């Protein structure tokens, strides 16, 4: 297949800090332009319509965890068939002959931007293109030939492993065409060859966000790699993502009936409400699970906001998955604390019983003298959850957890369905061990009636802003005394 070769490189670009470890290898100084029938291009990109009612493997889902919105593709399909404004009319109006004069051509003149994978390029689950499916690019000064993986394309052709093309921009336009679409309808294509994934994320951002001002928080879901790009660290995008996501997750913890913090977060910051404020939850999430990583082992990055380690991609969980993970964690910790036979738990329950408190049995977790109902306790629990899971991410196979893709943290049904799938994941056993070990920590505050004078003095260190750091240190030191993988990871952090 012929293609035009477009040379586009300036000498000053040679000074850019390229890095293979950061998936930012030096790209070729040119790209290619050609056209392909939409149905053929879709097949080469491995796009197939997903049944969103079931959990499915995303190994062939565009390679870099970009999310698809079926409604948007359906809208484009209607536009292609009937143009605007006929495509926006109701079905009853379309059936009548009164509006037939509104039909127009549904042109799609803007290019689909893709990357042609090279042999050996790996994506999710370490998949790569099968040798028989690869597309070889042979170029001269101004033109090129793409050697396709077949003599003639047919609608039955599918890739054996990873598709040879991956979409950088335009997946919703492609998904508007099924295998039965008119094969004469072509789409213009701009193709890079062997473009590293970090540059793909950069292209997606500059095409969709910078000029059009699309919601940046949504972009971080469409392209999770953007959450960890250092060139965005000083831009508003990262701050918008981190703060918006933290607020959304806080609201999910407060509003989801499955959450231990259901209706137990002070959303308005009212003085007479004893629960931790929404603002404090947001700050804690931004300081833990949604913080960036600067490459220091003693200060791991956030599970939801940075690369797992240098060179790795970001954990591409959706907003619903992030909320479900947090809710499941707090369920396990609450259960472990309330079932704890530790001396501190017995003492605080007995102290509340003497005061004739109706909720004495839940005092170790929810009581007025529990650290877990303070800013410091919440942040401490989130800290150790994030830090240990960050270090053990590969062993816990966090990337293998697959759920319905297109759901937000406010979608209570989707979040609950995601929570229900977590006990079957490899991470579940680790989280239970972590929660069990934390239940042995003395979570009483200095004001608990059951503490001794010496204990009261020791616990005063948790008060004030310095208490955040102190409780993290003491929790890690406590966990380091436990056995198994939890204890080993905690020792590394200590």
Counting runs of H as helices and runs of E as strands, what totals does the chain give? 18, 7
Residue 54, pLDDT score: 38
Q: Choose among 298, 321, 302: nearest CA to 399.
A: 321
Helix (H, G, I), strand (E, B) or coil at 147: strand
Residue 51, pLDDT score: 36
CB-facing half-sphere around the CA of 166: CA atoms within 13 A: 29
**Mean pLDDT value across the chain:** 85
Gyration radius of the chain over CA positions: 27
Q: Which two tokens stand for residue 35?
A: 């056209």
Q: Choose among 19, 68, 29: nearest CA to 47.
A: 68
pLDDT digits (tens, 9 = 90+) for 369-417: 999 999 999 999 999 999 999 999 889 998 889 886 557 777 888 899 9
Residue 370, pLDDT score: 94
Q: Has residue 439 got a pLDDT over 80?
A: yes
- DSSP 8-state assignment for residue 211: T
Kindly list the distances between the CA atom of residue 488 and the CA atoms of 94, 322, 388, 435, 482, in Å, as whole numbers in the listed order. 66, 25, 10, 15, 8
- The pTM is what? 0.67
Q: Which two tokens stand for residue 414?
A: 């989707």
Is there a contact between 72 and 209 (Cβ–Cβ < 8 Å)? no
DSSP per-residue letters across 70-94: HHHHHHHHHHHHH-TTGGGS-HHHH
Query: Residue 355 contacts by C-beta under 8 Å, 6 or more apart in sequence?
Result: 449
pLDDT digits (tens, 9 = 90+) for 84-99: 877 777 778 877 777 7
Q: Has residue 42 got a pLDDT over 70?
A: yes
| Greatest CA separation for the chain | 88
- DSSP 8-state assignment for residue 416: H
Q: How many other C-beta atoms lie within 10 A of the C-beta of residue 151?
A: 6
């Amino acid at each position: 297949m012929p293609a035009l070769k477009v040379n586009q490189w300036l000498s000053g670009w040679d000074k850019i800090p390229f890095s293979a470890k950061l998936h930012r290898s030096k790209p070729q100084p040119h790209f290619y332009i050609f056209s392909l029938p939409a149905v053929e291009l879709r097949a080469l990109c491995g796009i197939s319509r997903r049944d969103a009612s079931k959990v499915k493997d995303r190994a062939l889902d565009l390679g870099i965890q970009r999310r698809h919105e079926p409604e948007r593709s359906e809208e484009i399909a209607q536009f292609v068939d009937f143009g605007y404004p006929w495509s926006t009319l109701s079905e009853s109006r379309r059936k009548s002959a009164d509006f037939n004069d509104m039909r127009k051509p549904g042109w799609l003149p803007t290019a689909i931007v893709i990357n042609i994978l090279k042999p050996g390029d790996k994506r999710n689950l370490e998949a790569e293109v099968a040798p028989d499916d690869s597309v070889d690019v042979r170029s001269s000064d101004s033109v090129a030939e793409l050697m396709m993986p077949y003599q003639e394309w047919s609608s039955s052709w599918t890739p054996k492993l990873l598709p040879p093309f991956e979409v950088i921009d335009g997946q919703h336009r492609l998904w508007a065409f099924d295998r039965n679409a008119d094969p004469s309808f072509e789409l213009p294509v701009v193709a890079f060859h062997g473009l590293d994934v970090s540059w793909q994320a950069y292209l997606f951002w500059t095409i969709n966000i910078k000029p059009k001002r699309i919601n940046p928080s949504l972009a971080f879901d469409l392209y999770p790699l953007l959450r960890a790009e250092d060139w965005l660290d000083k831009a508003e995008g990262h701050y918008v993502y981190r703060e918006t996501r933290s607020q959304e997750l806080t609201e999910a913890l407060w509003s989801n009936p499955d959450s231990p913090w259901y209706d137990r977060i002070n959303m308005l910051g009212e003085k007479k409400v004893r629960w931790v404020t929404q603002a404090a939850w947001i700050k804690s999430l931004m300081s833990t699970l949604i913080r960036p990583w600067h490459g220091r082992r003693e200060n791991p990055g956030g599970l939801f906001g940075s690369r797992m380690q240098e060179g790795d991609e970001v954990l591409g969980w959706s907003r619903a998955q992030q909320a479900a993970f947090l809710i499941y964690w707090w369920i396990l910790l609450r259960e472990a604390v309330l079932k704890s036979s530790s001396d501190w738990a017995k003492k605080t329950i007995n102290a509340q019983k003497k005061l004739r408190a109706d909720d004495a049995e839940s005092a170790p977790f929810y009581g007025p003298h529990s650290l877990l109902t303070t800013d410091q306790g919440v942040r401490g629990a989130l800290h150790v959850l994030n830090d240990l899971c960050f270090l053990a991410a590969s062993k816990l196979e966090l990337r293998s957890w697959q759920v319905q893709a297109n759901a937000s943290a406010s979608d209570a049904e989707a979040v609950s369905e995601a929570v229900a799938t977590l006990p079957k994941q490899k991470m579940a056993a680790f989280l239970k061990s972590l929660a069990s070990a934390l239940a042995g920590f003395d979570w009483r505050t200095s004001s608990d009636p059951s503490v001794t004078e010496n204990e009261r003095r020791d616990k005063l260190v948790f008060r004030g802003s310095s208490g955040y750091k102190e409780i993290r240190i003491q929790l890690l030191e406590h966990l380091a005394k436990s056995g198994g993988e939890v204890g080993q990871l905690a020792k590394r952090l200590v």
